[in-house]
Amino acid sequence: MFKDNSVNMEMSVDTNKINENINSDKKEALETQELTKRFGGLIAVNNFDLKVNQGEISSLIGPNGAGKTTVFNVVTGIYQPDGGRVIFKGEDLAGNKPHQIVAKGIARTFQNIRLFSNMTCLENVMSGQHCRGSAGVWSSVFKSSYQKGEENRIREEAERRLHQVGLWKFRDELAKNIAYGSQRMLEIARALASNPDLLILDEPSSGLNDKESEDLMKFLKIVLKEDLTILLIEHDMNVVMGISDWVTVMDEGKKIAGGLPEDIYHNPLVIEAYLGKEEGEEL
Amino acid sequence: MKLDKNIIFKNWLILIAIVLLSVAPFMMNNYWIDVFFFFGIYALLGLSLNIVLGEVGLFDLGHVAFMAIGAYTTAILNTKFGIPIIILLPVSALAAAGFAWLVCSPIIHLRGDYLCIVTIGMGEIVRLTLINNPFGITGGPNGVFGIDFPSLGNIFMIDNSTEFYFLIWIVVGLTILALINLQRSRIGRAWNCIREDEIAAESTGIDVRYYKLLAFILGAGLAGVAGNIYASKLMIVSPESFTFMESCMLFCIVLIGGMGSIPGVLIGAAAISLFPEVFRTFAQYRMLIFGAAMVIMMVFRPGGIWPRKRGAVEFKSLLLKAGRDNV
Ligand SMILES: Nc1ncnc2c1ncn2[C@@H]1O[C@H](COP(=O)(O)OP(=O)(O)OP(=O)(O)O)[C@@H](O)[C@H]1O
Ligand SMILES: [Mg+2]
């Protein structure tokens, strides 16, 4: 058994190298270098390197508590890193507040859906356009023609996004009153409404049934064509294998593997991280 | 069709309200005109607190301090330098807004109950400062008196109850128009997003700090306007008009009517200012009745009497949210 495993490991190292080479001649949309985030004594993210290629769907996977959401929170500026860098479009994002990062082109969704519950679906999506507008207090109070034009543009863009995710019929419903699956899509629509270059989704398919997951995958492949890059955290292996161009695996804050989905699927390190050593041997 | 009917109903209601308000002073004696003047003052103050509390969900229990700044700015500049009240109207608004900017900048990141406590402290500090007569300009516990009526040279002078009544209600009307436009703009949406979920708002691209401060500054500015009109109507300002109880009253106005709802604020202001007059005999039980009414409201109609259409905002859920900040 032991022998078998080590052979496998060597092979996987080789494929990793080849993959890195394939990877290296593409342009990166997002890169984290030696990213570290601590919570007291706990190192949630530990020297973590991540590369997300432009125009691709990348997945970040790992067991519960691996630090995936924390990586997202650092990238989107909710937490400041304790070490390392986040590079987006060649620029270090350090010190930016979350809303500034949205303006730079990264939009996100949350693991536990966070909508504006008492606002309508349309208003939720319109708020995504906020950072693309500039009307101030005076022009809003006096309804200047500039403000009216901008408001129309915001509304049109939001309506387009609502159509796109198939929630047009719920536009005047309060966000808290629509079904769970629809809420997930609404949150994605809100993120897309800011016209991001990079969309990051924290477990978008969790809580969705099989059909909804299917639809979500199709949808993501379609919006990807809008000059978008997608990074997602995902537990559902069907989704990961189905749409990812690249998969990064993390465990206990560290990166343990990165590669094409099929290689990751057979990588013993990954299987071990997910199942623990003993069970891993039984596989 | 249903929606159309609603709009027609609403327009009729607004029209009737405007007609009633404009003929009212000619059918009442001066005493009642004054009661309605104070209804207007409370409406303006309620609208100003509604920006902070109703639209953004920030607990401000020291709001009357902003009115005090406006009132004292008017009183001092008018009595010491003879600057006309009309000119002092925008000046008082700016003074209160500037004060809000100074005081709120360092505390704006505080959440829910913490912010609430700090605003109570702010209100008390302002009142105590006024009592202590700094540089001998606030007149201590006696306050400042001999404030002029609003006038424009020899052209006109607002010097009787009816004219003050129209002054305040025209200001309230204009404020309502402005606030409706704000509610329907990206600024109003940003405010509501922050109230619903601060972290989501920030991650959606809204500068939470900026919009919270903006709410405080606008709210304080409006309270400053109320302070200006109040000072020139009473011709005297003194610290006892700006107690913690007054801030609580304003809080009640917004909660009773429905947070974030403009008609709600008007109903709340009516309840606070007219009710004690109608039930004079129960005057000494006033606070008891209000307290009971608040409790009953929170239990049976947590969204307020006239909540904003698209969905009631419940005070309770805001309180719960105040503690929640995990991602
Ligand atoms: N704000 C915080 N304060 C303290 N510890 C935290 C905080 N956020 C996350 N952690 C800890 O950091 C570790 C990584 O958490 P994280 O949420 O990033 O994991 P995850 O990979 O997203 O897991 P899951 O798959 O369950 O969502 C966990 O041990 C978690 O308890
Ligand atoms: Mg997570």
Say if B153 falls within a structural domain. Answer: yes
Q: Measure the CA–CA gap between B58 and B107, rounded to whole angstroms.
A: 12
Say if B132 falls within a structural domain. Answer: yes
- Select the more confidently predicted residue: A278 or B239: B239
Q: Measure the CA–CA gap between A65 and A254, rounded to whole angstroms.
A: 12
pLDDT at A277 over 90: no
**Rounded to a whole number, what is the distance in Å from the CA of B109 to chain A's nearest CA?**
13
Q: Enter the tokens of residue A160.
A: 């387009």
Chain A interface, Cβ < 8 Å to B: 69, 73, 76, 78, 97-99, 102-103, 107-108, 110, 114-120, 123, 126-131, 133, 135-137, 140-143, 147, 150-151, 154, 174, 176, 190-191, 194
Q: Measure the CA–CA gap between A213 and A100, rounded to whole angstroms.
A: 31
Q: Measure the CA–CA gap between A119 and A71, rounded to whole angstroms.
A: 29
**What pLDDT does residue B4 have?**
61
**What pLDDT does residue A2 have?**
42
Residue A254, beta-bridge partner list:
A251
Boundaries of every domain in chain A: 9-105+196-275
- Ramachandran angles phi, psi of A116, nearest 5°: -90, 90
* Residue of B179, B203, B324 for testing the chain A interface, max A β-carbons within 10 Å: B203
Choose the closest CB to A116 out of B188, B193, B214.
B193
**Average pLDDT estimate for A65-89:** 93
**Average pLDDT estimate for A36-61:** 92
Q: Measure the CA–CA gap between B310 and A204, rounded to whole angstroms.
A: 27
Q: Quick one: B275 exposed, middle or buried, by C-beta within 10 A (0-12, 13-18, 19+)? A: middle
Whether the CB-CB separation of B138 and B72 falls below 8 Å is answered with yes
Say if B193 falls within a structural domain. Answer: yes
Q: Enter the tokens of residue A230.
A: 């997608």
Whether B142 and chain A come into contact, CB under 8 Å, resolves to no
β-pairing verdict for A83-88 and A198-202: unpaired
Q: Measure the CA–CA gap between A94 and A121, rounded to whole angstroms.
A: 33
Q: Do A118 and B192 touch (CB under 8 A)?
A: yes
Q: What is the share, in percent, of chain A residues with pLDDT greater than 90? A: 64
ipTM of the complex in this document:
0.85
Whether the CB-CB separation of A117 and A174 falls below 8 Å is answered with yes
**What pLDDT does residue B324 have?**
52
**What pLDDT does residue A156 have?**
92
User: Is A230 in a helix, a strand, or coil?
Assistant: strand
**CA neighbor of B263 nearest in space, from B13, B36, B41, B25:** B13
Say if B304 falls within a structural domain. Answer: no
Say if B80 falls within a structural domain. Answer: yes
Whether the CB-CB separation of B66 and B125 falls below 8 Å is answered with no
CATH superfamily assigned to domain A9-105+196-275: P-loop containing nucleotide triphosphate hydrolases (3.40.50.300)
Q: State the maximum Cα–Cα separation within chain A, in Å, rounded to a whole number.
A: 77
Q: Which residues contact A14 (CB under 8 A, 6 or more apart)?
A: none
**CA neighbor of A105 nearest in space, from A277, A231, A261:** A231
Window 149-188 of B, Cβ < 8 Å to A: 178, 181-182, 184-188
Q: Measure the CA–CA gap between A254 and A248, rounded to whole angstroms.
A: 10
Counted domains in chain B = 1
Per-residue three-class SS string for B150-214? CEECCCEECCCHHHHHHHHHHHHHHHHHHHHHHHCCHHHHHHHHHHHCHHHHHHCCCCHHHHHHH
pLDDT at A9 over 90: no
β-pairing verdict for A83-88 and A57-61: unpaired
Say if B306 falls within a structural domain. Answer: no
Tell me if A8 CB under 6 Å of ligand 1.
no
Domain hosting B187: range is 41-245
Q: Measure the CA–CA gap between A201 and A205, rounded to whole angstroms.
A: 9
Q: What is the share, in percent, of chain A residues with pLDDT greater than 70? A: 88
pLDDT at A188 over 80: yes
- Nearest atom within ligand 1 for CA of residue B327: 1
Say if B63 falls within a structural domain. Answer: yes
**Average pLDDT estimate for A93-114:** 94
Per-residue pLDDT of chain B (327 residues; tens, 9 = 90+): 445 666 777 778 888 888 888 888 888 888 888 889 999 999 999 999 999 999 999 999 999 999 999 999 999 999 989 888 899 999 999 999 999 999 999 999 988 789 999 999 999 999 999 999 888 888 888 888 888 888 777 777 777 888 889 999 999 999 999 999 999 999 999 999 999 999 999 999 999 999 999 999 999 999 999 999 999 999 989 999 999 988 988 988 888 888 888 888 998 898 888 877 777 677 677 777 777 877 887 777 767 777 776 655 666 566 665 555 555
The DSSP output letter for A177 is G
Q: Which residues contact B29 (CB under 8 A, 6 or more apart)?
A: none
Q: Measure the CA–CA gap between B250 and B60, rounded to whole angstroms.
A: 10
